[in-house]
Chain A
Amino acid sequence: MWRAELIGAWAVLLLGLFIVVFSIPLKYYTDLGPGAGFLPFWIGVGVIVGGVVEVIKVFRMKERTEMGTFLQPRSKLGLQMLVLIVITFLIFPFVGFSVGLALCAAAAMRIIGKHKIMTCGITAVLSAIFIHIVFAQWLDIPLPMGMIGW
């Protein structure tokens, strides 16, 4: 966890630098008053200061080993879910929104929830129908369609 805290603090510092660097090409002040770069510059400075304080704080932490770990035994469930969501978003152009999300729901129930295959299958079908009817038909949202036209 200490390492994660340190990476987090460095990330804040880098974000601050990023904000400041890309605020410089924007006008800081115009004839009328503060320009587009005025606030971003000071936000960046603030984030840099915050990042420096955080880095120092992390280095001064005493009980490095007692902070636990960033990834816990159940973190892999979150990671599995993330992978499932990424795959779902990648297959949207082929299967469409309704079917894609329904497959994601079924896969999540099977892999993470360890539900029976039959339950997952029924969930997938019902989810696809629910998404299509409620969002695409009833609320008229132009969800991307896949090969089956849903």
Chain B
Amino acid sequence: MELWNNLMMGFSISLTGENLLYCLAGCIVGQLVGVLPGIGAPTAVALLLPLTFSVNPTSAIIMFAGIYYGVAYGGTITSVLINVPGESSSVMTCLDGYQMALKGRAGAALSVAAIGSWLAGTLSVVLLMSFAPALAKFALRFGPPEYFGLAMMAFGMLTVFGGGDPMRIIISTLVGLFISTIGLDVMSGVPRYAFGTPQLMGGIDFIVIICGIFGLAEVFNSLEQEEERGLLKQKIKIKDLFLTWDDWIASRWAIFRGGVIGFFIGLIPAGGITTASFLAYLAEKRVSKHPEKFGTGVIEGVASPESANNAASISGFAPLLALGVPGSPTTAVMLAGFMMWGIRPGPLLFQNNADLVWGLISSKFIGNLMLVLMNIFLIPVFVSLLRVPYTILMCFIVIFASVGAFTTNNNIFDVWMMLGFGVLGYIMNKLKYPIVPLVLALVLGRLAENSLRQSLMLSGGDFSIFFTRPITLLFMGAAILAYLTPVFRAVMKKLGYGKVTLNVESL
């Protein structure tokens, strides 16, 4: 009953004219970002974040959530029509979606993706409603050692799900932690690595870094790649978008399974929507009676990953809201937004800012509905946007990134700093040092350091505090296991068990 009352309270907030507009704006921007290759959800949120200083936090977070799950919808369009995923989470959709388009079934592919995303998204919101408050209640027992363990687990999970060289993931995480230490130490008031520069005393603002490392770096990287916009010459009529009875029968369980897998993967810190879509596709192929047909244009191959990525994009809010630990780069950027508005996500958020939490959760029902309608009736409009030259989009990114960096402290120093981080992001990308661990470490750095130091103060410098409390032990155990995963993989490979990592080729 309490859940129902909370949900109704949420709807009374999310259904106000202002919040509906912000939700719609978020869904449209998310859809656009998903459609346009070369700009991702974290970039879009990072670029818009500084512009929401004066906006009501509930409205702003509703908009950003709309962007996040809107991207999961939008990425499908390019995957199906031009075999180029608008987002990494839509990579798996290319395999069968593009094949369906080649067979003249682009409309059905787009439709099942939209409807599957909606159904799985709604399922995920229902599960989130029951799960997140319970998680928050559980997290009320957390002290500094538990928070340190949680941060370690989040960093560790990156080596499992991050994709790429584990050592480089660790280096990237450490660099992020280092950047978070720059400025005055909050516990002793001693400046660290500021070298007398007044602008560095308060630390490097997170917004400045993400505007550079996501925004500008993406411009440099995208300019280097050839534009692949060979749009399939296929006219999509409204009637093509309606699914046949056979399509429904074939995709119903794929949607459900994708939704459940996506929900649970989204809950894991660093799990991410891309991993969810990979695992859902893999699971669907495993349970299928005709796995050999996957990759040739079967509708389950589209329904499952699309349902999973949308479900994960919604459940990814559970660790953010209940624990204050972001599960993905986009929620990491949103965490910075919460801090900017003076709100601390975590167990107390459900008590202190119930209107924000339930307004956000209920807005997801509305946003998902808006997106499914947009995806069914406005696909030709979004497809036409693919013809916009990248140089124009690039100019917008540079403008928003520069203004965003300036806005944080109203000084040009931050704008130069943003440029520096843009170049760093470009080089890291070229040398295959992942950026996501750096961003996550940057966001969680202060929490990790403060909880580490507080824990050691409590224990008188005894590190066993991290292994004697049950919850901390669980988190630290998971973190250690996660860090050992690359070693296990290497050993398994040497023993002849093949490649255990997730990649498209292995599917």
Contact = CB atoms under 8 A, between A and B. Distances in A.
Interface of A: 4-5, 8, 12, 15, 19, 22-23, 26-27, 29-30, 32-40, 43-44, 46-47, 50-51, 53-54, 57, 70, 72, 74-75, 77-78, 81-82, 85-86, 88-89, 92, 97, 101, 104-105, 108-109, 112-113, 115, 123, 127, 131, 135, 139-144
Given A8-B431, A26-B190, A74 B395 contact: no
26 contacts: A26-B192, A27-B188, A34-B457, A36-B188, A39-B449, A39-B452, A50-B174, A53-B167, A74-B223, A74-B226, A75-B224, A78-B219, A78-B426, A81-B220, A85-B419, A89-B416, A92-B412, A92-B415, A112-B394, A123-B392, A123-B395, A131-B399, A131-B403, A140-B54, A141-B406, A141-B410
Given A40-B192, A113-B389, A131-B399, A82 B220 contact: yes
Contacts of B403: 97, 101, 131, 135, 141, 143
A27 B175 CA distance: 21
Q: Chain B's interface: helix, strand, loop or mixed, by majority?
A: helix
B453 A43 contact: no
B426 A108 contact: no
Contact of A8 (B193, B225, B433): B433
A19 B182 CA distance: 11
B170 interface: yes
Contacts of A22: 192-193
B504 interface: no
A13 B54 CA distance: 43
Contacts of B287: none
B176 to A, nearest CB: 10
Contacts of A27: 188, 190
B395 A43 contact: no
Contacts of A44: 178
A34 B406 contact: no
B431 A47 contact: no
B178 A43 contact: yes
Nearest to B396: A105
A34 B190 contact: no
B430 A70 contact: yes
Contacts of B251: none
B6 interface: no
Contacts of B402: 88-89, 97, 101
Nearest to B411: A144
Nearest to A4: B431
Nearest to A7: B431
B220 A19 contact: no
Nearest to A54: B167
B380 interface: no
Contact of B170 (A46, A70, A78, A143): A46
A36 B190 contact: yes
Interface in B172-225: 174-175, 177-178, 181, 185, 187-188, 190, 192-193, 216, 219-221, 223-225
B442 to A, nearest CB: 12
A78 B398 CA distance: 13
A29 B449 CA distance: 14
Nearest to A106: B395
A13 B181 CA distance: 18
B171 interface: yes
A72 B222 CA distance: 12
Nearest to A139: B51
Q: Closest 6 interchain pairs by CB?
A: A113-B391, A33-B457, A105-B395, A36-B185, A50-B171, A78-B220
Nearest to B173: A46
Nearest to B177: A43
B427 interface: yes
B374 interface: no
B482 to A, nearest CB: 16
B407 interface: yes
A89 B394 contact: no
B473 interface: no
A130 to B, nearest CB: 8
Contacts of A131: 399, 403
A47 B167 CA distance: 10
Contact of A43 (B174, B457, B460): B174
Contacts of A33: 453-454, 456-457, 460-461
Residue among A53, A139, A143 with max Cβ neighbours from chain B (10 Å): A139
Nearest to A124: B395
